[in-house]
Amino acid sequence: MPTYRRRRSALFMPASNPRAISKARTLPCDVVILDLEDAVAPEMKDDARGAALAAVAEGGFGPRELVIRVNAIDTPAGAADLAALRQVEVAPDAVLLPKLAGARMVADARAALGDDIPLWAMIETAAALLALPAIAATGDFGLAALVAGTNDLALDLRCRPGSDRGPLLPALAQIVAAARAGGMVALDGVLNAIDDPERLRAECDQGRGWGFDGKTLIHPAQIDAANAAFGPTPAEHDWATRVIALFADPANARRGAAKLDGAMVERLHLAEAERIVALADPA
């Protein structure tokens, strides 16, 4: 069975804030993203980079995946970020690339960073949307996740999403499709309204319905809603365990489909059942 990691909740934390980094080690999020870009003032870029690399080296994040969002790689700060990461002895779990404009930037980042650290990519520009088929084909460069940058994308498209995010839904669907085509994880964009739990729940449910694996967040108070929405429900877990048992039965060893609860279940559903069980019961 393939190895699956939970990415229900991916929390951005400013790398320039030592208290935030310390708190991140205690939070129930699946992913911590130490941000060197939007959350860091220009005069703090160098200090933030040093703090992020020190936090990675120190560790203590437990099962949480630790990702560093660098500055745009076509800027001096971004180039410095990648150069510094290439030299580290202890690397983060991934590097998140912002302001991606096309597949060439993925290749450039890989060349600058070296071969070892997986790449994640923000899809937050109109150019990135148009380049999604090419970006989805950059798996050979170690691209492992697509992250919807809904704030920047809305600005670049000059659309007004509103609470239902209607104008962004076609773009979100494209991001999920590209991620699946490239065998990658897809993470939904952030919600700025941190004091609106009902909207957060609705947006998490919407993202889950559109196929995202999890949601990026900007505040610890948003973690529980994301974990609840993007984790398997008890009913889904029950179905998955019974599908696995169904095809483990020697009587069904040569069958491509079998009957479960009055419906036919095909062997192609077995992989999804195994994924659900793995996410519900991580090792």
Residues flagged as binding site for substrate: 69, 124
Report which DSSP code applies to 12. Answer: E
| 45, amino acid identity | K
As a whole number of angstroms, the distance between CA 220 and CA 29 comes to 8
H/E stretch holding 271 reads: helix 268-280
As a whole number of angstroms, the distance between CA 80 and CA 77 comes to 5
Q: Strands 94-97, 65-69: parallel, antiparallel or unpaired by DSSP?
A: parallel
Phi first, then psi, for residue 101 (nearest 5°) are -110, -10
- Binding-site residues for Mg(2+), in ranges, read 124, 152
As a whole number of angstroms, the distance between CA 20 and CA 29 comes to 13
Task: Tell which residue, 185, 113, 103, has the closest CA to residue 145.
Answer: 185
How close are the terminal C-alpha atoms of the chain, in Å?
Answer: 12
Looking up tokens 């990691």 gives: 5
Q: Which residues contact 177 (CB under 8 A, 6 or more apart)?
A: 132
Sequence length of the chain is: 283
Tokens of 172: 């979100």
C-beta separation of 113 from 85 below 8 A: yes
| Helix/strand number for the chain, H first, E second | 12, 10
- Binding-site residues, in ranges, read 69, 124, 152
